[in-house]
Amino acid sequence: MHDLLFVLSVLSMIQNSFIQLPGIGEKKEISIWNDGVFSWGDYIKNKKESGVKIDENKSLIQVQKCLSNLAKNQVDYFYNALPSSEEWRLFREFKNHCLYLDIETNGGDSFSGYITTIATYDGSKIKYYVNGKNLDDFIIDVFDYKILITYNGKSFDIPFIQNYFNVELNHAQIDLRYTLASLGFKGGLKSCEQQLGLRRKGLDGVDGYFAIHLWNDYYYNANQKALESLLAYNIEDSINLEKLMQISYNMKIDNLGFENFEKVPNCRTPSNIFQPHFETISKIKSKTGYNY
């Protein structure tokens, strides 16, 4: 027990959470916080002072399970226990186990289409995968992580990947489309970025549909600049997901209305390893009449 309580020396939102316990919903959790019980350690201490024996109290047994699973970094335990609307709470504790992920496709659906590029970022390393080059490496690399963070990934990216590679991604997921929507930010990824004051240098007018034109120019015309522009766009999606996750996590903390919960510090946005080729983008726009 002493070793498990050591985990509480630095608290994160997951350790302030009680909503994952049986019989505790949103209102009951807020009531617990209002009583000055802000962490599992507070909860155990409070129950002990009330004369409750740990092995005879269901909620204390569940808190013990939480402590044990946290000590083992068992992300799945908390992912399955938390309501889907509260998946954002996983972020701070398991930040180092997260992979920010975005895919581009040829425009077909998840059964008839194919993936053109994949970009990932883990808070430190940017990786990219290109169809016809190293796309299969993604399936090896993705299992180094426990949480996939996407925008609309639950509906699009993840099912597309699973169908394309015939593989099951059994990771925990945080889909920022739903997290941001719950905070009042709706629309596509680029729209949410703009609403939150994020700007993309050199990629104005490029969206998922235009990315198909970039791929076609590379694939059919061997235009490497088109591929570099596509990768610049794809990577920008993945690295911006970290910033959106950090912003939305802190906004969620603010909305809880308690000063006792730790926020995450501002992340350092890395430099994109590719730059868009303006001449190629302008040429495609002119040729296709594309108007974003």
Same domain, 104 and 208: yes
Per-residue pLDDT of the chain (292 residues; tens, 9 = 90+): 434 444 444 468 999 999 999 889 999 999 999 999 999 999 888 877 776 665 667 888 899 899 999 999 999 999 999 999 999 999 999 999 999 999 999 998 878 899 999 999 999 999 999 999 999 999 999 999 999 999 999 999 999 999 999 999 999 999 999 999 999 999 999 999 999 988 877 676 688 888 999 999 999 999 999 999 999 999 999 999 999 999 999 999 999 999 889 999 998 889 999 999 989 988 888 877 666 5
pTM: 0.92
Give the residue from 173, 148, 155 showing the smallest Cα distance to 110. Answer: 155
Give how far Cα 53 sits from Cα of 46, 61, 123, 231, Å.
Answer: 11, 10, 43, 58
Report the C-alpha gap between 84 and 174 in whole angstroms: 9
Provide the CATH number for the domain around residue 240: 3.30.420.10
Chosen domain end from 14, 39, 72 = 72
Give how far Cα 162 sits from Cα of 80, 100, 116, 119, 151, Å.
Answer: 20, 17, 15, 16, 16
Residue 11 within a domain: yes
Tokens standing for residue 193 = 């970025």
pLDDT at 7: 41
- Count of CB atoms within 10 A of residue 35's CB? 11
Same domain, 155 and 66: no
pLDDT at 50: 74
**Which residue has tokens 């169809």?**
131
Same domain, 57 and 115: no
Residue 77 within a domain: no
Tokens standing for residue 87 = 């998946």
Chosen domain end from 19, 43, 72 = 72
Residue 79 within a domain: no
Report the C-alpha gap between 101 and 153 in whole angstroms: 8
Same domain, 64 and 97: no
Same domain, 43 and 135: no
Chosen domain end from 22, 41, 72 = 72
Same domain, 184 and 284: yes
Same domain, 65 and 207: no
Residue 52 within a domain: yes
- Number of domains, the chain: 2
Domain that holds residue 204: 93-288
